[in-house]
Amino acid sequence: MQIAITTRHGSISPEAQELIREKSEKLLTYFARVTSINVTVSFEHHRATVEILVDAEHKHDFVATDTGDDVIAVFHAALHKMEQQIHKYKEKVQDHKGGPTAADVAMLPADGEK
């Protein structure tokens, strides 16, 4: 899996880059089919915009963006949005057609009843 961190119109410290890389890797715990993660940090008018693009197998890119004053806080907010998108997609594709539902069990007659 590849993680690319790019900046526009400014730069971020190596410590911030390492933090972004570590936190981005944790997206794999939510969805194992992630193939690449691109984090773009843009600076305009003393504000930072963070855009996270996650490419997963058999799915188009997930995209999350946020804007604010502090790069790390903005990254965390965008990462939270990304986690929610991945959770929602994973719930959607999982098979929930396993056993009987609670309503089906409630409708069954108890032992000894007809």
Beta strands in 1-114 (DSSP E): 2-8, 34-44, 47-56, 59-68
Per-residue pLDDT, averaged over 31-35, amounts to 84
Q: Which pLDDT score is estimated for 67?
A: 96
Q: Indicate whether 57 belongs to any domain.
A: yes
CATH number of 47's domain: 3.30.160.100
**Residue percentage of the chain with pLDDT more than 90:** 54
Write out the residue range of the structural domain in which residue 58 sits. Answer: 2-91
Q: Indicate whether 39 belongs to any domain.
A: yes
**Domains contained in the chain, number:** 1
Q: Indicate whether 41 belongs to any domain.
A: yes
Per-residue pLDDT, averaged over 48-68, amounts to 90
Is beta strand 59-68 parallel, antiparallel or unpaired with respect to 47-56? antiparallel
Q: Indicate whether 102 belongs to any domain.
A: no
Q: Indicate whether 50 belongs to any domain.
A: yes
Q: Indicate whether 98 belongs to any domain.
A: no
Q: Indicate whether 21 belongs to any domain.
A: yes
Q: Indicate whether 105 belongs to any domain.
A: no
pTM over 0.85: no
When the pLDDT of each residue in the chain is averaged and rounded to a whole number, the result is: 86
Per-residue pLDDT, averaged over 4-28, amounts to 92
E strand or H helix at 73: helix 71-93
